[in-house]
Structure 1
Amino acid sequence: MQKYSMEEILKYLSKIMAAAIVTSQISAATIAIIDSGTDMQHDVIAPKAWINQLEIPGNQRDEDRNGYQDDVYGWNFAESNNQVIDYKYLGTLNDDMVKFFELQEKSMRGTITPEELDWMRSIIKNEDFIKRMTVYGNFMHGTHVAGISATKSDDAKILAVKLIPTEVKLPGQEIASLNQDKGIIDFLVKRAIDALAKAQTGTFNEIAYYVSDHGAKVANGSFGTGFPQAKMIVETVMKTVSKKEPNPETVEHYAKYFVNALVDNSQSMLKAAPNTLFVFAAGNDGLNNDEYPTSPTNIQGDNELSVAATIDYSSLAPFSNYGEKMVDVAAPGVGILSSAPGNKYIKVSGTSQAAPYVAGVAGKILDINPSLKPVDVKKIIMETVDTKSFLAGKVKTGGVVNSERAQRAAILSLDISLSKAIASAKEDVADMEVEVREKSRRAPIYIKGSVLPLPSNFVLK
């Protein structure tokens, strides 16, 4: 009789348990929230939290032998531990910030008063307020995003993946002491930029393998490095090294090259998780991603979607990035009420809020028909949109995601071909109602900088 070691027996039992868990949860789509941290104890998220049943919480061991010790709710890739949120920031939210978020929405809906507008313009110039807002924005961001996806998909399981540190140092804070170091000068050389992009790719690919291994059918990515951020990074480094004002054309050239390098190198994450649909936020810089690239949302593939933000179903949000070639669809992203750490709720605006709306719809589609592949889910979402004239030339589909129509197509796809299901769903489900604008409202007002850029994982070291 052949004898087995205890380690071999444990490995065998782990495989059996894993298979049982996958089988029992086959009807529930797992949505990975790749973000800045998620409060898995929040009342909205806790009932839908993905839990690694193979791990014994708090024993500092790696029972499932995947290399991530005690990854009960997911993993913190920013600090290499299992703490998917840092609760020490719970007291960061104050009354001014709550008021700011409220007025942020009112300004874009045209209901803000002149006095409120003056207050916003004044406080946005306050460096201490912006610093506090940035820290809280990162702390709250992942929880807010997770809540949106969770409420759009009844049976979804939320897997937390922390990529963005809560406090990110601004470019230049760590390079000032390096003076004329040749390594920093080489940063401006394309080969060095390529190396930097490849280093980021390693993290992205590790995350992609992680969410794939845990069976995530959908992954939301409301983060990114846009052209303005890339430009700031390049410009800051050049100023610090050369001690003089850099040529604007050179800065723009390197910024575009930098972001394109990030996009090109990040393309491999789609292959690392071929059974996962990645949903990316288009960006909050109000730019055309076809001309001014943003990473990773400019990645192109059968298992990715890029999402712009709208004001309900009536107009493109003024802060939203767009692109007829690079952005696929649009979804509501202004004044979105969702969860915040500590069992709070807050309204926030951004493409960060539009993307998880679509990720939640994708999860719902998979709840209905788990046999659909990422390319099928993408096809349903893109081909069931409400076509809008204000999105013509702005996104590939020229439309806003229609959740009800997409779900109808998923139901029909259980019995008929996908193409027929989509065609029938278009006939069965009407466009979503557009709110009639009150004559008393002013035109939407957007204060530049009132919507923060996407949180970026890029930290200059």
Structure 2
Amino acid sequence: MELLYEPAPEVIEEYGGFLRGIMDLRAGMASTEAAQQVLALMRAVTDPEELETLETSLDAIGEWAHGTHVAGIMLAGLPQAELAIFRSAWAGEARLYHHRGPTDEELAAERANVEAIAAFIRAHEIRVVNASLGFGEDYVASQLRHERDRYATDEAVRERAAAVQAHRAETWRQVFAACPDTLFVVAAGNSNRDIVEYGDVPASLEAENLVVVGAVNRFGEWATFTNSNPERVRIFDWGVAVPSLVPSGETVPLSGTSMASPNVANAAAKVLALNPDLTPAEVIALLEETGDPIAAPFDGRIVNEVRALRQARRRR
């Protein structure tokens, strides 16, 4: 299979071994041994341009592995499943919109891309879509501050960041509304914050066919990095050191709500395989009803696949 994004071979050879640490840092797990190795590598570089090149290479490794790893989790135990891969960014850009914000033309292209995805979903009657992605207004603002020639004041930065976020939110609302028979499973994010307070997209949105997933470790304990909200993030799954394939053919344990989300999508697909008459809202309710309770800071449910499948059979 051709990869949608692949770094230069020399980048993979030199930095591929740092993958777990790269992803630990993305998940805010800076104290792990793997993350410390990456930080030591970065601290050893003092020249700003060389550091920029290194950070770009490390980001490229993360992008190279992320989608394949997520797909492997989503397909586990589903030998008859068919997988459609949707591109959420432009091939060849390891650091999309780095030190700049998206232009109006690029936002329009994002919307056209998502509209095309929605059309594909409807045409092929796709029942479950996983979205291990997210956009934060604060991140957009941090990149816009590098464009002082266009956004000279903090107020201008805030206004543009809010406009970008509003555009993206409306784009995702449209795709949810356009595909009412499809369950969208979205990662909550890895910033240990409230998705509604910060307006993260698409995690902060509401729709009957949308479930937002937080992360726990293999023991069912709240992952330190997971985003949350007591009303919106009601379902959790394993998202710490989750093993899956990467493009090199290795099985690597990676962390993040990006890994928890496809675990839930996987369970939802199995539920629908047993009982295809269930609506997205009914699948969400079933997963929550049959899940194991999670402890503080918020109530919620960890998907219990065995109980969920048993209940799906009973409701046929």
Q: Is the 8 A contact 1:315 1:390 kept in 2?
A: no
2:143 aligned residue (233, 243, 251): 233
Q: Is the 8 A contact 2:222 2:294 kept in 1?
A: no
CA deviation after TM superposition for structure 1 residue 154, in Å: 4.4
Aligned counterpart, 1:398:
300
Structure 2 CA distance for partners of 1:355 and 1:90, relative to 1, 3 Å: farther
Aligned counterpart, 1:153:
78
Instruction: Give the letter for the 1:85 counterpart.
Output: L
Q: Is the 8 A contact 1:84 1:161 kept in 2?
A: no
Q: Return the index of the structure with the highest Cα Rg.
A: 1
Aligned counterpart, 1:293:
199
SS in 2 for 1:280: strand
2:168 aligned residue (255, 262, 265): 262
Q: Is the 8 A contact 2:30 2:36 kept in 1?
A: no
TM-score (norm 1): 0.59
CA distance in 1, matches of 2:137, 2:99: 20
CA distance in 2, matches of 1:135, 1:99: 11
Structure 2 CA distance for partners of 1:384 and 1:91, relative to 1, 3 Å: farther
CA distance in 2, matches of 1:153, 1:93: 30
Deviation per residue, 1:244-269 (Å, 9 max, x gap): 5x32x664454345323421332010
CA distance in 2, matches of 1:117, 1:338: 19
Q: Is the 8 A contact 1:156 1:364 kept in 2?
A: no
CA distance in 2, matches of 1:356, 1:284: 15
SS in 2 for 1:135: helix
1:273 aligns with 2:198: no
Aligned counterpart, 2:121:
211
1:101 aligned residue (11, 15, 20): 20
Deviation per residue, 1:289-343 (Å, 9 max, x gap): 1100111222311111111122224432222221223333221111111111142
Aligned-residue sequence identity (percent) comes to 24
CA distance in 2, matches of 1:110, 1:224: 21
Range with greater deviation from structure 2 (135-144 or 351-360): 135-144
Structure 2 CA distance for partners of 1:96 and 1:206, relative to 1, 3 Å: closer
Deviation per residue, 1:417-447 (Å, 9 max, x gap): xxxxxxxxxxxxxxxxxxxxxxxxxxxxxxx
Structure 2 CA distance for partners of 1:322 and 1:255, relative to 1, 3 Å: farther
TM alignment of 1:34-45, pairs within 5 A: 40=1
Structure 2 CA distance for partners of 1:200 and 1:117, relative to 1, 3 Å: closer
Higher relative contact order (CA 8 A, sep 6+): 1
TM-score (norm 2): 0.83
1:167 aligned residue (93, 98, 104): 93
SS in 2 for 1:201: helix
Structure 2 CA distance for partners of 1:219 and 1:197, relative to 1, 3 Å: same
CA deviation after TM superposition for structure 1 residue 108, in Å: 8.6
Instruction: Give the letter for the 1:205 counterpart.
Output: E
TM alignment of 1:88-167, pairs within 5 A: 89=8, 92-94=11-13, 96-99=15-18, 101=20, 112=32, 119-125=37-43, 127=51, 128-164=53-89, 165-167=91-93
CA deviation after TM superposition for structure 1 residue 225, in Å: 1.2
TM alignment of 1:4-23, pairs within 5 A: none
CA distance in 2, matches of 1:206, 1:131: 29
Structure 2 CA distance for partners of 1:221 and 1:93, relative to 1, 3 Å: same
Instruction: Give the letter for the 1:122 counterpart.
Output: A
Instruction: Give the letter for the 2:245 counterpart.
Output: S
Structure 1 unaligned blocks of 5 or more = 1-39, 41-82, 176-183, 415-461
Instruction: Give the letter for the 1:158 counterpart.
Output: L
Q: CA RMSD in A?
A: 3.3
1:374 aligns with 2:283: no
Structure 2 unaligned blocks of 5 or more = 46-50
Q: Is the 8 A contact 2:188 2:228 kept in 1?
A: yes
Structure 2 CA distance for partners of 1:274 and 1:236, relative to 1, 3 Å: same
1:200 aligns with 2:125: no
CA distance in 2, matches of 1:97, 1:267: 36
SS in 1 for 2:83: strand
CA deviation after TM superposition for structure 1 residue 212, in Å: 2.1
Structure 2 CA distance for partners of 1:158 and 1:122, relative to 1, 3 Å: same
CA distance in 2, matches of 1:109, 1:86: 25
SS in 2 for 1:220: strand
Structure 2 CA distance for partners of 1:382 and 1:256, relative to 1, 3 Å: farther
Structure 2 CA distance for partners of 1:355 and 1:362, relative to 1, 3 Å: same
Across the two proteins, how many residue pairs are aligned to each other? 307
CA distance in 2, matches of 1:168, 1:103: 13
2:258 aligned residue (321, 331, 352): 352
CA distance in 1, matches of 2:10, 2:98: 28
Instruction: Give the letter for the 2:111 counterpart.
Output: T
